Structures are given as structure tokens and as C-alpha cells.
Structure 1
Amino acid sequence: MSLLGGIRPPIAVLSVLLLALAGITALTLGRVGHDRVPEAVRTSQQHFAEDGAIALRASVDEGVTDLTRTAQLFSAGDPVPADAVLDKIGNVYQKWTGTAVVEIQSGKLLAARGENVPLTAIDRSRLADENGLAPRMVRLQNGETRLLSFALLNWKGRPQQLLVASSNLKFPGISLGEFRSIAVIDQTGTVLSSDGIPEPEQVLTDLQRDEVKESNRQLKAFAKAAAGKAKQHPVKSKEPGSGGFLGVSGSLSGDRYMGERSVAGYATLASPQPGEPTVATGLGLTVVAMVKVAEDPAVTASPVFGLAAAAALLLIGGLTVALLLGTVQRPLIRLFLESRRLTRGDLARPVTVPRRGEAARIGAALERLRHQLLGESPRPAAPARRRFGARALLAVAGILLLVWAGPLLLLLNRAGDTVVVPQQMVNDQRERTDTVSDRVRRALNEGHADLMSVASLIGDRTKPSQMAEVLEATMNEHLRYESLYVLDAHGDVLARAGHGPHNDQGEGPSAEPIRVLDDKGKKPVIVGTAELPGREGAAVVGEFRIDFLNSLLKRPGLGDVRVVDAHRRVIGGNSGYLAFHRLPGERLDELVEGTNQKVGMSPRPSGVLFRDGRDIQIAAAAPFVGGGAAESLGWTVVSWQPAFGLAIPEYSLQNRTVLAGLLGITAAAACLGWLHIIVVRPLRDLARQAEELADGDRKTVLFPRHHDEVGAVARSLELIRQQVQSQRKRDGGARTPAGAGRN
């Protein structure tokens, strides 16, 4: 018999699958949704830490790039005093806490701005090494950490100078809300900087002081745990196929304190592209975000449903397997044995005929063939018993399994309109949307600051080749621009880099620092303008890539994200959208309008939970606030996502219940379909051929389709056909039996 064919393997596989499914059902459905802190909240903290890591990495890399490019552009021109260098840098950028220019050979401080730069930590003898100019972290006496960035100023005929910039490791534009703290840690788990937790001396009551101390203790514990997990390989730290954040990230649960449990997310600083490390990723930093979440005391673990569903499956599965064994497998095996007996010449005993179906038809045909082999007159065929064949038995078996799987798939554990969405999820949606909004605003502000820096460094350069050189250098350093060009007061292009300008109407430079040039095309054209000092209205113009803007919006766990202008028209998004069209739904329009028009206060981010029957949606809106050239745009970032996609207990239980039903239907369809194709269809054809053979058809050769029980019965019938035909020839061509050749 074939190992993969026949009647036994499908039934055996079905039995194993049903047993496995019963075990899975008992283990999973009994445990779903009983954590007092939902998985969705923990995952949200992981995404929050990833947002912080991305913002910090971008800030550090942007600072190093700006410092290096500025020094290179200064070095390409005429020598200028150290004070002039720092003044121009300070006028354009406000990202550094302190700057200084040092003469490398003598170590003399030539100029300084802002807080004192820890110059004693600089080893001037190693600046010529390959990594001599790499940024480094310095611990100050007050316990704070500073990141030092370096760049060289080279002019012919002058001693080489070192441009130093000091910055803290604070997070730019991260919205923490009221109860969250965030920290930067090194590879040993030491907290380098933190936000969100006040100093114990800043609180008034003993209770508050105890809470602050507990928060600090929890944060340090999370920092140590996150530092250990951050040493994993990014690929091994995630589930296969999860994708998303390129670095190591995850969530941690802490101790319970006064009815609240601390939950944290952690994320290492990862490069934006796989396999392309940056300056920031080489620092070995990790971000830890912690929040206190109120536990639900009403939630208790109860495996009753899972055990009941598993017990029902065992009962129904047992009946199904017993039905298949008793009505399909055993009759077929009995036919196989009876047919083998007849081929060996044992004709004394009558054939044991099964009760119903194709097996009964074949058994009756074998009994008639036994009489013919004995030389008796052919007997007429008995009334066919075809009303309840093997196909009907398979259908009954499928219905039995569907009785278990159907309610799981369609009826049980349905999450209704009373689903409890944790308030923390709404808060996280609001704060993360605010963080994305600030990130987009800062990116546009950085772009405009770069244009101002380019305009300042072009200075008195009048040759197009000289201006184009500066523009090309800026294009190579930053990927945010689609084109850079210099316009005179009449709108003529004096020099350009990148794609051709969209400003083909001969208009002069705009007085607006950032604007949308084309609001009727298929793609928004976002333009930044910085006037050239002393050039009678000439300006440097940069057109931002819309893909650069959209890439800032692509964050997991936020759903659909859109940037809308002051008229609530879509400018950009993280998924498919139509530019300058309205938001999908009046509720989102009203959310944006209400966020920007709060009475008696400045615009602030808003989060809301929309309920429409079972359709539950979390949405948030955050306007541009915080200053800079981009704030005048009046843009707002909007995000929304359906609640059923979150790991909330009710939805998790519903999803796993549906999954159990799908697995049950799949197992039934696969095994019963296998049984129908391999056994039932050949058995039906064999029953017809056996009846035709018993009726006198001696010419049709019976070929087995498979090497299994049905094939063995077919081979036995073929041998019987040959024996009957040989007996007929020996008898000298006896009269044709009644009904010969009948189909």
C-alpha cells in the first residue's frame, strides 16, 4: 500500500490535526486578553521609543553634517576671523549649546559662543587620525553629558583651525504628555540624559517625592535591562518577517506601584537605510521611554472558554473520525480482503456485502462474480443502494466539523461596540502625532536654515560656476531637495543644481520663507527661499522633494497619516493619497478645525476616540507650533487608525477565535478533500465498473488509479474478469449471460 495514498493517511492526518487544534484552542483561547496591561499599550511604548531614537539619530547626524558642510564652505572662500565664523553659524543655527574655534597647533582658543566647550577633553594629537574628527561624548563635572562635534577650517597661509560644537542629548520635539519620561542610555545602561521626571527637590509633598524616587528607580532598572537587550542583532531581536524599525527595539514591564504598572519601550539608534551606518549609530546609544499605566483590576484569567471549545472539538472530532472509520475505511478494507480471497480461488463462502454506498455496490458485484466463477447462472443485479454513498458520508463529516468551526468563525467572542480602548492608546496617538508634526516642521526649518547658510556663504560670488559649486555641495549633503537655484530680482535663474526649477513664469523670489508653489498639479511643490545679502533682491531657492516629506510620516502603529494645509487639503501622507483633496470624512475635518481653533488658548494637539457602532477609530491632530519658518504654513498632521487592528483584549480574543475556526475549516477541507480525490472518486468509478463486469462486460480492462485499497480492489476485479473470461472460453463459448454489455 502507498504510504501517502489510500484510506488511512487522510483520516490519520485529520485525527492529528484535530488533536493539535484542540490543544492550541485550550492553550490560546484560555489565555487571551487577561493581561492587566494590554499588549497594544506595550507595543505603543516600543513605537514611542523608536520615534525618539529616530529623532535623536536624525538630530545628531544633521548637526554633524551641518557643521562639516559649513566648515567646508568657509574653507572654500576667503579667510575670515573666528568670531565671524561663529557669528554666522549662530545666526543660522540654534542647535548647539556652545561653539568654539581652536588653533590646532598651539591649542589657543580663538573664539567661543554659548556655554563653555570642554576643550580639555580634545586630544589634538589624534585629529589627523582617520577617526580623529569623529564625534565623542564627554561627561561634565555636574553629571551632564555633552556630544562634541568637530570640523576643520583650512585656509592657505594660515594655521589649521578646529571648529568645535557642543550639544546635549535631549530629544528634539518629542511630545511626552503628562505621565511619560524618556531617557538616553549608553551601552552599560547608564542614563546620560532624561526628560519627564522632575528632581525630588522640585516636588512639594512626601508622597510626590516617593513617586519621583520610584520613577527614577524604575527608569534605571529599565535602562539596565534595555542595555542588555540592545546587544542583540537587530534581525534576531524581532519575529521573522516583522520588518519595520531597523534597529533593536522592544517593550518591558516593570513593577506595580500604587495601582499603576510601569511599562517601557526601548530602541537603539538605527541607520535610516540597511547596512549604511551613520555617525549617530556608532555612538552605541539606546532610547528608553517609560509610562505608568493604570491596571484593570477586573481582569482575571479564565481558561473556561478555551477548555470548553477544545472539549467540544474532541467530542465532535471523535464522532467524525469514528464515522469515517466505520462507514468508509472498514467497508473498503473488507472489500479488499474479500476480493483478494476470490482471486485466490476461495469461492466457498459468500462475499460479505457492506450495508450502503459504493462499497455495497462493489460487494454485491463481487458476490455475483463469485457465482459466475462457480459456473452458476448469472444472477440479476439487486436493487442499487446508492442514496447514501461515500460522498454523502464525507458531507456529513464536513457538517459535523462545521458545527464546531462555524460558530467560532461567525458568532462567538464577537467584539461589539462596548470594546474598551485604553485611554493610554488615545494619549499615545495624540503624542506620537504631535512628535511627527514637530519632526516635519523641524525638517522644513532645517531646510530653510540650510538655504540661509548657503545664501550667506555665496556672499559676493557672482560667477555662476562658483554659485553652482556651492549648490551642488549642498545637494550632495542633503537629500531633502529636488532642486536648488539662485534667482535674481527679475526671476532669471543665475545658477542651479538638480532638476529644473518649477518657477518658469519669470517671477522674482518670494518674500515668504516657505510656501507651496503649485496647488493645482498632481504633486505639491514646496519651495523655500532665502535672500542673498546685499544682492538687490536675489535669493537662493530650494524645492523640497515631496517623497522626503512623506518619508517623515512613515511610522508603524499610527495608521494613516496626512499633512494638511490651512484649508484642510492634503499635502502629503504615508500611504496613497490625492494631493489637494479633502480628508476622508467630516469627523477628521472637524477634528483639525477644532484643534486649530481652540478658544482662549494656542493650538494644541488633540486625540479622540470615534465610535460608530462596531466601527471604532482612534484619531489625532497636531498643528505646527514652536516657531521657525515652517510655522507660518499653518499645516496640521492628522493620523487615524481602526481600533480592531490593535492588540486590545476583546479584538485579540475575537481574532484568535476566528483563527481557530479557520484552522478547523481548513483542516476539514484539506483532509476531506484529500479523501474525496484519492478514495471516493476512484471508488465511485470502480463501483460502476464492477457492476458492468458483473452484468457481463468482459472487454473493459480495469486499471487501478492508485496503489492503495481501491487500486487493490480494482486489480482483483481485473483478475476476476480474466478468470471469468478464461472460464467462458473453456466452456466453449457458453450462451451470453443476460444483460451482457449493459452500461
Structure 2
Amino acid sequence: MLGGVRPPIASLVILLLVVAVLTVIGLGGVHAEPVPQAVLNGEQQIAADTAQSMRTAIDAEASTVRRTASAYPATSTATPVTTLKALTSARKAVLGSALLDRHTGTLLAAGGRTVPLAGVDAARTASGTVPPRLVTSGGSPQLLYFARVTLPAQQEDPDQDYQAPNRPDRQWLLVVSEALPSVAAYGDGRTAEVLDASGTALATAVHGKASSVTADSGLSTAAARAAHASGAATDASGSLQGATTGSRRTVAGWAQVASTTGPGDTDRLGLVVLTSHTVPATTTTADYSRFALEAAASLAGVALLLGLALYFSVQRPLLRLYLSAGRLARGATQDWPSASEELSRPVPVHGFGELARIGRALDALRRQLLGESGPQEFPARRGPGYRALAVVGVVVVGFWAVPMITLLNRADTTTAVPAPVLADQQARTEIATNRIRQSLDQSYTDLTAAAGGLPGRSRAAQAEVLRRALADHKQYRSLYLLDRSGGITLRVGDTPLRTLVHVPDGGGITTVNTSGRIPAIAAYTQVRAVKGKTRAAGVVLFGEIDVKALNSVLPRPKLGSVWVTDSHEKVLAASVGYQAFQSLPDPGLTRLARSTQSAPGTAGTATSAVHLTSSGPSVDAAAPLAQSGPTARLGWHVVTAEPAAALQIPAVQAEQRTMLAGILGLAVGAACLGWLHVVVVRPLRAVAVLVERLAGGDRRTVLHPVNHDEIGSVTRSLELIRQALAERDRAARSGPAAVPSQPLRENTLQR
């Protein structure tokens, strides 16, 4: 079905025309808007990242409240006052707290500010996990966190003011009131707001000097309306455009503060994060429609030119040769009067190269069948053939495709990426840095809480405390105690990856190996001594953090590849595949990380740049992890790299689509002309050699048709001619009386 001369030529013309149409569609749709889509997408992702940070903070606080309540060492003599104090005294973020009886809803104890309990049904809410609730008290928004506290049955005691009924156990409802987690704005001039379901701003943060245009009240209402319209899409986000002042326009992004993996603690809060800032509106427009039409027209011209050239130089001469070979075969196998009519007409020589050679050899065979001449030798030197024609066809297509691939619509790396896009990448890198820092800080806080339950306990009790901590905090892969010499005295979890034997002072985050397949990052804290008792063998508690848990924090949509590096720019964690302690994949990224100038213990400065890579321009940014807290002395960096082609930048899109059109055109031309070479040119070269041998007197080589196409038919006709000439030569050698009076009949081939 794919044989013959017609399919490759027709496919070449049709497919090149299809590429021309795709060029018009692809490049014609690239336009430079006053506010590039990449800027709008960047603001949307910044809002989504900020919402995720708030969601993580609320989820972590809710889990901490529930975990603290479930781990409370209840006794049968505990009172509501002592229980409430034990559960909340160590938590500085608590504004107010209350303890309610689950069955009656009676307030049993209260502490701090008055907790707004209106609408809290203790009997109903205590039946399962209760999500936080947003309330307003004293004009300020607060979050109420809930947890169940289960205590053993309490015996009647006439000296106590509070008497609990005799029940198998007592269930209380802990209610904790805390301020709304603070929202942070990243990027100079950006405003970040937390909105409720009605669009009212609950919290606002401004980075640098925000323009007054940014404070567009209409954006808050539009964002709340869009979030409400998203319905069940709990991770919904979007972008908006605000007012224009002069040459600047406000762009905004919104995102719901809701769980993305199913029902969670933030689903019912109705919170929306809105970020906004002003960007310069583009006054110059770039329209690639004219270029697309010109490129498509030139490719269509190339397609028609090649089609006509191949039709007149290959297809039509081959079909005429096919008819001439069939006529000679009929003349060689028919009775003499009819054969004389078929053989009397000379064979026209059409085309050049192999077809011309075959035509001349066929005419020599015609004369031999008529007895006008004997075998004829043909010159060994020959001119260019159809292989050269196929190569010329590829070169012609290449004249159109190569400039498209390498020269036209090249994006200038210094100006192609708008400055707001580069600033957005830097801001998102800072948000990712803060998210990683929060994760490491939380790991240290959890480890410190576990270490607080170790002093004064037996080894078995300490092991139980560590096992419970390992079960509650999934980010740890191993927990162990070190003695003063650095030896492990107690361990739970997996085998430690630790290779550095040292006992640090204080507490914080560190690495405990410098080589191997897996980087080992660990939180550590001192285990305090118990007064009046001998210090336990273990003096430092280490918690090795599972690198998979850290890697899972890194990926974010449209942020690209993310790496966490140490002070020597060696990779410790990444959102893409990596080898432990390898260098960053590009020297430009290494220089960018070093340019943050983040000496240990200093804040450092985030930076960004556009680098040209083998796959095109890349928008890169780096931010130091060094701040205050457990990560302050690390000197680590967070580095991100996003290909500019994925950011919907018009200049880059035009470059990519121009290159794609060139690659498609060159691929189609090479494939179709290669197909023509396989099914036509190469068989023609073989047939040309065989027919010249036959015309030169070779009657012994049998000609086998390979394909069922025009060339196969020519080969079958040549085999009939060979048999006729061989029969006549045998008859001539046997004597004049044996010469047949009629040519060889057609059924000779069948016998």
C-alpha cells in the first residue's frame, strides 16, 4: 500500500502544506499583551504559594493542639483547672483557652482572654476531629482550635469544688483561641491580604513601598467572588487585573486557603489570599502574524516546487518507462505479426540518470528482439542520478527550515524575559525558602518537645517516648541519643546515616554526613540534666530528617526545578532527580547561589538572573536559607530554575514555535524524500544495472521483482524479455532448423 512512486511525492507535498498551516496557527497566536500572561501567571502562583504557607501553618497548629491533648498524662485526680494549665501554659501563641464538658457543654475552666464560645456545640463537635473555626473577638479575627481530652474516671472527693459524675471516663473539649497566622508579602511593592468569604481583609502585609494603586478595593471583592465561584475546587486560584495609573497597571493573584488533598482543617474557613502589585504596562506590541504568513507561503512554494519537479522528473518518466517495458514484454511473448507491431516502435528515453539508462538499454533489447543488433556494452561512467535529486530536495527544504531553527525570531536573553517575571521568580524562591525553613524549624521544635520528656526517666521509658515521637512526626527516619564520646546509647527507627562523630553544643539543624547515597540532615537538641540525679548517658538527642519529606516540600507549579544546597553549593535535596552532594547542574546556578552573599548567621540577599542554556533561556533565582532560629548558622541556599519556554513569554514562545516549525518541515522533507529513495531510487539503481547487463548479453541472471509497484512491473517485463532472448540464443546454437517461427509465448514464464 505504501509502495510506488505516487505516495511519497504526494505525502511530501501534503505534509509540507500541513506544516505551513501549523506555522500560521502557531505563530499567528503569539501576541504581546500590555500585561504579559507570564506576569499574570506569576502573580497567581505567588498567591497560591502564600496560601499554601498559611494552610500549612493552620494545619500544623491544629495538629499540635490535638497531639498535645492526646499526649496529656491524664490521672483520675486531674481537675479542669490543672488540666487546662498543663495543656496551654507552655504555648505562647495561645490568646485564650477554655475547657468544656463534652456531654453538657458546661464551661469547666478558662484562661487568658475570653474565648468566644457562641455557637460551639460541645456534644456534637467532640464526637470526632473538629476543624478550626474563624471568629471575631474584640474586632480582631481569631482561630479556634479544638481537641478532645480523655481522662480516667474520677472518684468522688468532698473536698473538691468540682465533682464529676461516676463514668468509665471523662471527655472534655479543649478550645484554644489564637491569632490568625501572619501573612508575609514577598517582592518589592507587593501587598498580601487574607480575605474572608465576603472579601473583607482580615490581615495585610506590605513589602517595601506599595503603590496606592495596589490597594484596589474592587480586587478584594472580585477575588472573593471568584473563589466562591470555584466551588469544590479547594485548591482554586486565579489572576486579576486592576486599575491603570499612568504607565503602570495593578495585577493580582488569589488563591483559596484550603486543603488540596481532600477534607482538611482549612476547608470550612473560607479564607482567600490576595496578592497584588503594580507592573509597567507594555506599550510596544509584537505581532507575528505577518511573519507566520510569509513563512507559510514560502514553505507552500517549496512544497509545490518540489512536487512539480518530482512529478516531471521521476513520476511521469517512470510511468512511461513502465508502459514501454510492458509493450516490449508483450512483443516478446506474442505471435509474430502482433509482436512486430509492438517491437517496431522505439523506446522513448525520458528523464535522466537511472531512468535514462534503463530507457536506452530497453531500446537496445528491442533491437535485439527484432534481430537488428547484438549485445551492446554501456559506458561505466555515468552522470548524476536520482539519488542526487533526493539530496537536492532535502537541501531545498533545509534552506527554509535551517534559518527557522537557528536564526529567525531569536529571543534576546537580556530583554525577552520581562523584569516582573524575573522578580516573580525571585519572590517565589523566597517563599519556597521560607517554607523549607518553617519545615526545618518545626522539626527542631518537635524534637525539643520530645527531649523534654526524657530527663529523669528509665531507659525503657525514654525509648517509649522516642517511639511515640517517631510515630507522631513522620518527617523523622531515626531518633537516637549520643553520649559524650559521640556513641549512640539509644535508638529507635531506621539505621542512622550518621558518619560524622561529634557532640555539638546547643541545638539546631545540621548535616551528619558529607558523602554517600543519601544526604543526612538532622535536628539536634541537648537533653537537660535532672537536678540531684546522675546525668543520663545520653546528652544530645538527634532526629535524622527523612530527605523524602524535605523533597516533598520543594515542588510547586511553574516554579521549575528546586535545589537545596549547603554552604559549598552541594545538593542536599531537590524536586528533581539528583545525586547526593553533587554540584548544581549549571555553573550559572552556582554563581547565582554564591552571589547571595549569605555568610552563616547573616540574612543574605535573594537574587535572580536569566541564563542561556542548551534548551533556551532559563529564569533562575537563589535565596539564602540563613535567617534566625535553628537554621541561622547553616549557610544553605535554595536555588530555582524555570525554562522561559514554560512561562508564556511572547518572544520565547515565538522562538520555540519558529524552531518547531523548522524542525517539523525538515523532518517531513527528509522522511518523505528518504521514503522516495527507499521505494523508488534504490530499486531503480538496481534495475538499471541489471538491464544494462541484459542488454550486454547476460542471459543467465534471473530478474526477480521485489515490490508490487511500477518498478516491480518493469522487472517482470525484463524477465520475460530475458527468457525470450535466452530461448532464441539456444535455438540459434542448435541450428537454423531449430529456430522457432514464433517468439516465446507469455506462459513460458509460468512454466
Compute the TM-score of the two structures, normalised by the length of structure 1.
0.81
Distance apart, 1:595 and its partner CA: 8.3
Note the alpha carbon deviations across 1:260-279, whole angstroms, 9 max, x for none.
4444555567878xx78655
Distance apart, 1:404 and its partner CA: 0.5
Structure 1 counterpart of 2:686 = 685
The question of 1:719 aligning with 2:720 is answered yes
Structure 1 counterpart of 2:159 = none
Question: What is the CA–CA distance in structure 2 between the aligned matches of 1:92 and 1:490, rounded to whole Å?
Answer: 33
Structure 2 residue runs of 5 or longer lacking an equivalent are 155-169, 332-341, 737-751
Note the alpha carbon deviations across 1:361-384, whole angstroms, 9 max, x for none.
122222222233334333635657
Distance apart, 1:529 and its partner CA: 1.0
Instruction: State the AA in 2 paired with 1:296.
Output: T
Instruction: State the AA in 2 paired with 1:393.
Output: L
Structure 2 counterpart of 1:324 = 310
CA pair 290-165 structure 1, distance change in 2 beyond 3 A: same
SS at match of 1:160: strand
CA pair 437-333 structure 1, distance change in 2 beyond 3 A: same
Instruction: State the AA in 2 paired with 1:624.
Output: A
Question: What is the CA–CA distance in structure 1 between the aligned matches of 2:599 and 2:499, rounded to whole Å?
Answer: 37
Distance apart, 1:463 and its partner CA: 3.2
Instruction: State the AA in 1 paired with 2:415.
Output: V
Structure 1 counterpart of 2:293 = 307
Residue correspondence of structure 1 range 1-150 to structure 2 within 5 A: 3-75=1-73, 80-87=78-85, 89-90=87-88, 93-94=91-92, 98-113=96-111, 115-127=113-125, 129=127, 132-138=128-134, 140=136, 147-150=143-146
Structure 2 counterpart of 1:353 = 349
The question of 1:464 aligning with 2:464 is answered no
Instruction: State the AA in 1 paired with 2:460.
Output: S
Contact 1:93–1:449 (CA under 8 A) maintained in structure 2: no
Instruction: State the AA in 2 paired with 1:609.
Output: A
Contact 1:596–1:623 (CA under 8 A) maintained in structure 2: no
CA pair 8-76 structure 1, distance change in 2 beyond 3 A: farther
Corresponding residue to 1:512 among 489, 506, 510: 506
The share of aligned pairs that are identical, in percent, is 35
Question: What is the CA–CA distance in structure 2 between the aligned matches of 1:611 and 1:312, rounded to whole Å?
Answer: 34
Larger displacement relative to structure 2 (554-563 or 334-343): 554-563
Distance apart, 1:725 and its partner CA: 3.5
CA pair 533-393 structure 1, distance change in 2 beyond 3 A: same
The question of 1:165 aligning with 2:152 is answered no
* Number of aligned residue pairs: 698
Structure 2 counterpart of 1:220 = 221
Question: What is the CA–CA distance in structure 1 between the aligned matches of 2:599 and 2:316, rounded to whole Å?
Answer: 73
Structure 2 counterpart of 1:254 = 241
Contact 1:728–1:734 (CA under 8 A) maintained in structure 2: no
SS at match of 1:119: coil
Question: What is the CA–CA distance in structure 2 between the aligned matches of 1:80 and 1:175, rounded to whole Å?
Answer: 47
Structure 2 counterpart of 1:413 = 409
Contact 2:237–2:256 (CA under 8 A) maintained in structure 1: no
Question: What is the CA–CA distance in structure 1 between the aligned matches of 2:733 and 2:21, rounded to whole Å?
Answer: 67
Larger displacement relative to structure 2 (335-344 or 143-152): 143-152
Structure 2 counterpart of 1:376 = 372
Instruction: State the AA in 2 paired with 1:339.
Output: A
Structure 1 counterpart of 2:671 = 670
CA pair 349-196 structure 1, distance change in 2 beyond 3 A: farther
The question of 1:181 aligning with 2:192 is answered yes
Corresponding residue to 1:155 among 151, 154, 175: 151
Question: What is the CA–CA distance in structure 1 between the aligned matches of 2:541 and 2:291, rounded to whole Å?
Answer: 68
Distance apart, 1:309 and its partner CA: 1.1
SS at match of 2:147: strand
SS at match of 1:529: strand
CA pair 494-616 structure 1, distance change in 2 beyond 3 A: closer
Corresponding residue to 2:479 among 468, 479, 484: 484
Question: What is the CA–CA distance in structure 2 between the aligned matches of 1:113 and 1:46, rounded to whole Å?
Answer: 41
Question: What is the CA–CA distance in structure 1 between the aligned matches of 2:729 and 2:190, rounded to whole Å?
Answer: 98
CA pair 328-21 structure 1, distance change in 2 beyond 3 A: same
Instruction: State the AA in 1 paired with 2:675.
Output: W
Compute the TM-score of the two structures, normalised by the length of structure 2.
0.80
Distance apart, 1:75 and its partner CA: 4.5
Question: What is the CA–CA distance in structure 1 between the aligned matches of 2:481 and 2:78, rounded to whole Å?
Answer: 24
Contact 1:153–1:161 (CA under 8 A) maintained in structure 2: yes
Contact 1:566–1:636 (CA under 8 A) maintained in structure 2: yes
SS at match of 1:388: coil
Larger displacement relative to structure 2 (388-397 or 338-347): 338-347
Corresponding residue to 1:333 among 277, 294, 319: 319
Note the alpha carbon deviations across 1:500-536, whole angstroms, 9 max, x for none.
557799976x541214263654434423215457466
Instruction: State the AA in 2 paired with 1:327.
Output: S
Distance apart, 1:694 and its partner CA: 2.2
Question: What is the CA–CA distance in structure 1 between the aligned matches of 2:272 and 2:328, rounded to whole Å?
Answer: 80
CA RMSD of aligned residues (A): 4.1
Distance apart, 1:356 and its partner CA: 0.7
Corresponding residue to 1:297 among 276, 283, 287: 283
Contact 2:42–2:421 (CA under 8 A) maintained in structure 1: yes
Question: What is the CA–CA distance in structure 2 between the aligned matches of 1:716 and 1:248, rounded to whole Å?
Answer: 73
CA pair 662-493 structure 1, distance change in 2 beyond 3 A: closer
Distance apart, 1:577 and its partner CA: 6.0
Question: What is the CA–CA distance in structure 2 between the aligned matches of 1:385 and 1:521, rounded to whole Å?
Answer: 68
Note the alpha carbon deviations across 1:469-519, whole angstroms, 9 max, x for none.
2322221222221222356778776643213557799976x5412142636
Distance apart, 1:402 and its partner CA: 0.7
Question: What is the CA–CA distance in structure 2 between the aligned matches of 1:60 and 1:250, rounded to whole Å?
Answer: 19
The question of 1:449 aligning with 2:460 is answered no
CA pair 385-173 structure 1, distance change in 2 beyond 3 A: same
SS at match of 1:24: helix
CA pair 385-634 structure 1, distance change in 2 beyond 3 A: closer
SS at match of 1:380: coil
Question: What is the CA–CA distance in structure 2 between the aligned matches of 1:610 and 1:450, rounded to whole Å?
Answer: 39
Larger Cα-atom Rg: 2
CA pair 352-512 structure 1, distance change in 2 beyond 3 A: same
Distance apart, 1:629 and its partner CA: 3.6
Structure 1 counterpart of 2:596 = 592
The question of 1:526 aligning with 2:522 is answered yes
Distance apart, 1:674 and its partner CA: 1.0
Note the alpha carbon deviations across 1:116-148, whole angstroms, 9 max, x for none.
44433332332464xx32315445488976554
Distance apart, 1:22 and its partner CA: 1.0
Question: What is the CA–CA distance in structure 2 between the aligned matches of 1:264 and 1:110, rounded to whole Å?
Answer: 47
